[in-house]
Amino acid sequence: MGVLLENFIHVELSEFFIGRIEATAEEATLNPSIAFREFNGNIYDLVFNFEKSEVSVNSVLGTSSTGTENLSIDVFLLATGSKLNCYVNL
């Protein structure tokens, strides 16, 4: 697990945030026209690219490329304790 993801989990992740992420991932599996979704936090922003099955964790405070961590949606959901088994891109 990368530093940005670990920090996001400890600083910003809440049950409410997990619920929004799960609902969005489920919606994207049912509606393939959903390509991107973005969640803005206080310190970290999340950008979901459902076409690539990828999520970017971005540090709002970081101004360089080290302020971004990209990982698969499956890995992200697992790391955040989502109740979804996996994200399936239909």
What CATH number is attached to the domain comprising 70? Answer: 3.30.720
**In-domain check, residue 86:** no
**In-domain check, residue 28:** yes
The string of pLDDT tens digits covering residues 27-71 is 998 998 999 999 999 999 999 999 999 999 999 886 555 689 999
For residue 90, give every residue at least 6 positions away whose Cβ sits within 8 Å of its Cβ, in sequence order, or none: 29, 30, 32
Strand extents, DSSP E, the chain: 36-40, 44-49, 54-59, 68-72
* Mean pLDDT, all residues of the chain: 87
Query: Residue 89 has what pLDDT?
Result: 47
**In-domain check, residue 52:** yes
Instruction: Report pTM.
Output: 0.85
**In-domain check, residue 84:** no
Q: Structural domain of residue 22, as residue ranges?
A: 3-79
The pair phi, psi for residue 40, each rounded to 5°, is -110, 125
The domain total for the chain is: 1
**In-domain check, residue 66:** yes
Query: Residue 90 has what pLDDT?
Result: 38
Q: 83 falls in which pLDDT band (50, 70, 90)?
A: confident
**In-domain check, residue 85:** no
